[in-house]
Amino acid sequence: MDAFAAGINDFARQYPETISDTVRAVLPVTPQDVIAHTTRVMTVFIADTSECGALLPGFGFSDQPVASNGWSLGSSYSASGNTMLLANPHLDWRGLETFYESHFLLTDVNLYGKALVGSPVLQIAFNDHLGWTHTVNTMDGCDLYQLKRAGATLDGGYLLDGMRQPFTTTTEIIQSRQQDGSMTSEFLLIRRTKQGLVIEKDDQMLAVRFALLETSLLAGMNRQWWEMGHARNLEEFQDVLQGQHLPLFNVVYADADKHIMLLFNGIIPVRTTGNGAFWRTPVSGDDSNLIWSRIHTYADLPKAIDPASGWVQNSNGAPWYMTLPFLNKDLYPPNIAADITNNRELRGLQMLNAHQQMSYEELIAAKHSTRALVADQVLDDLITAARGNDSRLLLQAADVLDHWDRRYLAESRGAWLFSTWFEKWLERTIAKAAVADPDYSFTSDQLVSGLFYTQPFDATQPLTTPHGLADIPLALLALQDAAGELQARVALDVEWGEIARLRRGRVDFPGNGAGTALGVFREIVYEPDEDGKFKSFSGDTYIALVEFSQPVRAQVLTTYGNASQPHIPEIGDQLPLAAKQQLRPAWRMLDEIEANLAMREILRR
């Protein structure tokens, strides 16, 4: 930690022209700053994946939900007989979620991987013996408690089990360094209940209880990642995991000894009552029985080791879906995980089930698949209904969609029409539900439900459900809207890559890939740009395909490049490969590094 902080400060002194005034104000960085930053990032992740996110806005994450793909293929499923690992986090390409790629070639380990900017250790990595990746899981690590005042003012305290309790109050001094180097101080009064920190919002008084802040486990988080990178086999790796210092994330694992594993990991409270839905909304603050004090042990957590299917996977769904046959969710507490899945994960399950064995080349192809599962679920219904209508615009739209390859390649024609229709379909369906029920609230798990489909997702039929349009007249209205809107700007059969662009700095290429909701495994999300096009801003952050052969074979890509400042050549320099759906070799051996050396710098203590 000391060396990491010192390295930041040394870089700032050596290259002051690269440091903005805003950043310069926080220098010098201390080890305590690094710990505070990594704690903040994990707290934001927890809030973002729980009900607490709505209460704590402005933490620095984008509105785009965090997502990832992680697969491990065992020796029986791998065509070569070697285990293989797919690491594929999907985060925002800016801010706190930015990844950097790094390599540690040390006397005792050859470790390659990624970490979030500000982390002193690799968080997704592989060595000569094993590797792992993370996906954001469906655990709930933060709870809200609806408090009742015991009197007319806060001085009267709050009610717990019908009895008045005083708030515990402290005053913190928040010091901020200004750009001119001066310091300002602000006094912050903090109230706490037995549940946790008190926040007032919209005439409500709520207590927030973060599992990662109720134990001392988080203090060992960075050390645990470091030790994971030094493990040499499954036994050593599990010994490290049992420390339970990582506050969330699935752990998807493979090794050279032909073992694979998926662990639903996290600092997860033991809640003695209620299911996941119960705890996803504020619970009573007047019931002490709802104040949990323990966390689930490693033995409690759902996991699969060397399953009969020969593979494990997660794309941000519930842990039961990590392999086939699914785990029996009745063996676990009903509130340990949200019971959800998504069309991207269902598309991944389809691809895995379609192979008896998978080669390294087939794994690369699967990773880059842009086929839209939603198109396979509803497009035939939509085209048939449109052709049964006398609207000329709907007939034109039906022809375009009928000729579409159902993929999101740069050259795909019809993809933009389908995407626009999909957004209109969601908007109209959600609006209809809100009219029918004023208390209705949309959640992303409904995207595979009977709200949209005649046959909703059924865990007993995961490869064929959901399917069918639940409301065909509504879907046709959405298609009329989409075709009219698109035709006013471009041709109905405009190529996907004409509008969707892979952009970073001055680099600009036709895009491929699309979002989770469409059931596209190759997730790249686009947002409007100044010129009317759409630019990439989230999705495939990092890709690593690792085969634990002798020697290890690995191809990788940091999609947006290993830099963020506009004048650095590495910003966007990997987008040309992303545009061609290609990866690059991971140079891990000394002779490979020497042959491709761009700069040599000797660091001295």
Q: Which residues are identified as catalytic?
A: 68
> Which of 513, 511, 503, 510 lies closest to 571, judged by CA?
503
Q: What are the tokens at 449?
A: 């439900």
Q: What are the tokens at 231?
A: 């493990």
> Which of 144, 198, 140 lies closest to 169, judged by CA?
198
Residue whose entry in the numeric block shows the structure tokens 């005649």: 454
DSSP result, 41-52: HHHHHHHHTSGG
How many C-beta atoms lie closer than 10 Å to residue 486's C-beta? 21
Half-sphere exposure of 62 (CA within 13 A, CB side): 18
143 among the known binding-site residues?
Answer: yes
> Which of 171, 62, 105 lies closest to 525, judged by CA?
62
Q: What is the DSSP letter of 503?
A: E
Chain centroid to CA 598: 32
> Which of 52, 55, 210, 229 lies closest to 130, judged by CA?
229
> Which of 371, 325, 363, 323 lies closest to 344, judged by CA?
371
> Which of 192, 220, 189, 215 lies closest to 121, judged by CA?
220
Say how far apart CA 75 and CA 257 lie, in whole Å.
9
Q: CA of 386: how far to CAs of 399, 416, 479, 487, 525, in Å?
A: 9, 17, 8, 17, 28
Phi first, then psi: what are they for 546, rounded to 5°?
A: -120, 125
Burial code of 378-412, b = ≥16 C-beta within 10 A, e = fewer? bbebbbebbeebeeebbebbbbbbeebebbbbbeb
508 among the known binding-site residues?
Answer: no
> Which of 75, 85, 426 lies closest to 237, judged by CA?
85
> Which of 345, 252, 261, 263 lies closest to 302, judged by CA?
263
Show binding-site residues for Ca(2+). Answer: 140, 143
Show binding-site residues. Answer: 140, 143
